[in-house]
Structure 1
Amino acid sequence: MIRNAHNLALNLCLASTLCTLLALAASTGCNSANSGRASISGKVTFDGQPLKSGEIVFEPQGTGRLGIAQIVDGAYQMPAQQGPTPGKYLVRITANRPTGKAVQPAADTSGRSSGVSYEQFIPAKYNEKSTTTIEIGVEPAAVHDFALTAS
């Protein structure tokens, strides 16, 4: 009987310690593993239509962490583990499409069939000459949409 009471007290103590540790871990941080990074998502349209596929890059202006995400069917999503840290970012958006022109293989690759040529069709003002900036705050999740135009 005394042994059962001792085991019960020990089990209650262990359970209480485990609950305390779990509460401490939850309050200090699952987010600490992300080193202050934010989840970021949004929509990207080109001339009013969802951008079928492409890439979006958040390039830090000063301190910060580079973030890159794929655009699929007009949407992108970057989990916090890969997302940017708070700060100002230059945004670069790229997308390629087939030109319909065949690419001839190089002279030293005889016997290979020709491929299809692709072009970057997003205007340079959104990628190599981008001036689009955003500010990422300390919020754990950010949403930023981008409406691009050909002109």
Structure 2
Amino acid sequence: MLYDIRQFAESSYLHLSISVGVFFFAGCGTGDGKPRVALEGRVTLNGKELPTGLVSLIPADSTGETAVAIIENGKSVIEREAGPTPGKYKVLVESKQPTGRKVRDADNPKAKVDEITEAVPVQYNAQSTLEIEVAPGSGQTFDLALEGGARSRMPRTRK
């Protein structure tokens, strides 16, 4: 299913804005005295490291602290200052990747643009079934080995 680039941009910018807002409003680096925990891990899809993306931890109840990690070359890291507090979290993973195909540009039907797909299956992002338990203490490792195929495709603008 193809999406208009504006929808893709709006959803990406919205998620990025929410992520940045979470860091500021969750007390990132403010010395809020909460028992935050550093996390790190590897993120793979069908045995291959995800090159880029986001891992979001959403508290299962209202007592936790939301945290977001950027995926770079299959690795995600959340420093203690921006980390979650101990508790149960829903895990959402996103990674938009080019498919290698060209498709018609929604704004200019005569032009072709790179096709983009959400590489992570819906059961790991919009309808995530992943959960983790963050324990008190020093840094912890959570490796996410995801399985499945692409969810949706959308065109992107040329650079």
Give your verdict on TM over 0.5: yes
Q: Which runs of 4+ in 1 moved over 3 A?
A: none
Cα deviation code 1:4-56 (max 9, x no counterpart): xxxxxxxxxxxxxxxxxxxxxxxxxxxx6552111010011111111111110
Tell me by how many angstroms 1:140 deviates.
2.3
SS of equivalent to 1:81: helix
Matched to 2:53, the amino acid is G
Q: Which has the higher helix share?
A: 1
Matched to 1:50, the amino acid is E
Whole-angstrom CA distance in 1 between matches of 2:33 and 2:103: 45
Tell me by how many angstroms 1:103 deviates.
5.1
Query: Are the structure 2 counterparts of residues 103 and 33 from structure 1 closer, same or farther at C-alpha, using a change threshold of 3 Å?
Result: farther
**Corresponding position of 1:104:** 105
Matched to 1:104, the amino acid is D
Query: Are the structure 2 counterparts of residues 85 and 103 from structure 1 closer, same or farther at C-alpha, using a change threshold of 3 Å?
Result: farther
Whole-angstrom CA distance in 2 between matches of 1:116 and 1:48: 25
Matched to 2:131, the amino acid is T
- Tell me the TM-score normalised to structure 2 length: 0.66
**Corresponding position of 1:121:** 119
**Structure 1: runs of 5+ lacking an equivalent:** 1-31, 108-112
Contact 2:94/2:118 (8 A) holds in 1: yes
SS of equivalent to 2:123: helix
- Tell me the TM-score normalised to structure 1 length: 0.69
Tell me by how many angstroms 1:142 deviates.
1.3
Quote the sequence identity (%): 30
Whole-angstrom CA distance in 2 between matches of 1:103 and 1:76: 34
